[in-house]
Amino acid sequence: MDLLNTLVDKGLRRELPTREEALAVLATSDDELLDVVAAAGKVRRQWFGRRVKLNYLVNLKSGLCPEDCSYCSQRLGSKAEILKYTWLKPDEASEAAAAGVAGGAKRVCLVASGRGPTDRDVDRVGKTIEAIKEQNEGVEVCACLGLLSDGQAERLRSAGADAYNHNLNTSEATYGDITTTHTYADRVETVHQAQAAGLSACSGLIAGMGESDADLVDVVFSLRELDPDSVPVNFLIPFEGTPLAKEWHLTPQRALRILAMVRFVCPDVEVRLAGGREVHLRTLQPLALHLANSIFLGDYLTSEGQAGQADLDMIKDAGFEVEGTDNVTLPEHRLPKDRQSDEASGCGSHQGGCAPCGSEAAPESDAVAEEPASSDARTDLVAVRRRGAGTDLAPNA
C-alpha cells in the first residue's frame, strides 16, 4: 500500500503524517490489518528495537473522587463496587511498588484519585517517592495526582519524581461531553507545568468512549504538539455503575489500528499499552507489542489485569525482551542535552544505521475514515481489583 510506505518513511524521519493519512489508517480493512501492524512495527523497531518497558501502578488513594469523568470507576456518583481507601502510608506504598519492581518493572506509577493534590498531599507523595527510591535502586517514579497548582511540580521533582502523568483522554471538541468539573485546557496546563519543572511528561488517551475517528486523530495530533515523552493508550473499561458502562465499540482489530495510528503520529515516543488491553485486544495482545514499546505489568488502579507472569511470557514468546534499568528508554535525540553523546546522530537509541531525521514532504492519502464498529459486550473480562494496594492480599506483579 502506498499509504503505508509513506507512513513508514515519515515515521523513520519523525515527520508528522497528514490528518488524512492518520484517518486512513483507522479506515483500513481487516484484510489489511497485518500489513498495517507490520508497517508500524518498522517504525517502532527503528526507535525502540525489540525492548518492552514494564510499568507498575500503585493506587495511593482509591475512590471517592469529586470529579465527574464519565469513564472512571472512582468518579463522583460512581456505583462501581471498587476498593475505596484513603492514602497509603509511604512504607505501604513502597512495599506495593517493590512487588512490581521484583516482577521486572522499570517505572512505578503513583496514582491518587481527586481533582488535584493539596500541598500536604505533595509532601506525603514526596516521602513515598523517597521510600521507594531508597529500596529500589534505579527505579523511575511517575506521579499522577490530578491538576497541579503553582510550584507543586517543582516540589515533586525535588522529591525525586522523574515523570508526571496527566492524560488528555479525548479531543478538545468532545471533552465537555466526558467531564464537566474541569476543562481540557486545565489538563494541557498541568502537562505544561510538569514539563517546565523538568519532569518527563506522560500524557495519553482513552479510546472506546463513543468518539469518532476524527476525535481520535484530533487528540493524538494534540498529543504530538504537546510533545510528551510517553503516550499511554487506554481502551475504555466499561465498569458497571458508570455512565459509559454500555459503551462497547472496540474490536481487537480496531484497537490495533488505533495503536498503529498513534505510532505513526508519535513515532519516537514511548507508546504504552495501558488499561483495557486484556478486555479489548484479548488474544491479539502479542500483536500490539509490535506497535507499543511499553506496557503496564499486572493489575490496574481499580481493575485486574492478566497475571504478571503471563505478561512476561507473552513478551518472550512474541520475540521481545524486557527493558532493563541499564537501558535508556527514549531515543537519544529526545534526551536532555546533558545526556546526549557528542556523536549522536539519527535516533541514537541502538547500534546500526538509522534513517536520518528530516522533513521531506510525502504525498497525502485520499482515504477517508469509517464509523467505529461495535463489538459484543464482554463484561466477564471486567474484574474489580481485590488484591494489592489497599488490601491484605499479595499484589499481582
Active site residues: 65, 69, 72, 109, 142, 202, 272
Measured CA angle at 280 (ends 251, 393), to 5 deg: 170
Strands, E, within the chain: which ranges? 51-61, 107-112, 140-144, 163-165, 200-202, 205-207, 230-235, 270-273, 294-296, 321-322
Cell of 391: 488490601
Cβ(94)–Cβ(132) below 8 Å:
yes
Q: How far is CA 29 from the centre of its chain?
A: 25
Cβ(231)–Cβ(223) below 8 Å:
yes
Give the whole-angstrom CA distance, residue 260 versus residue 155. 36
DSSP H or E run through 167: none
DSSP H or E run through 338: none
C-alpha distances (whole Å) from 60 to each of 50, 84, 215, 268, 297 are: 32, 11, 31, 31, 17
Cell of 256: 490495533
Cell of 298: 499486572
C-alpha distances (whole Å) from 80 to each of 17, 58, 112, 384 are: 40, 19, 17, 9
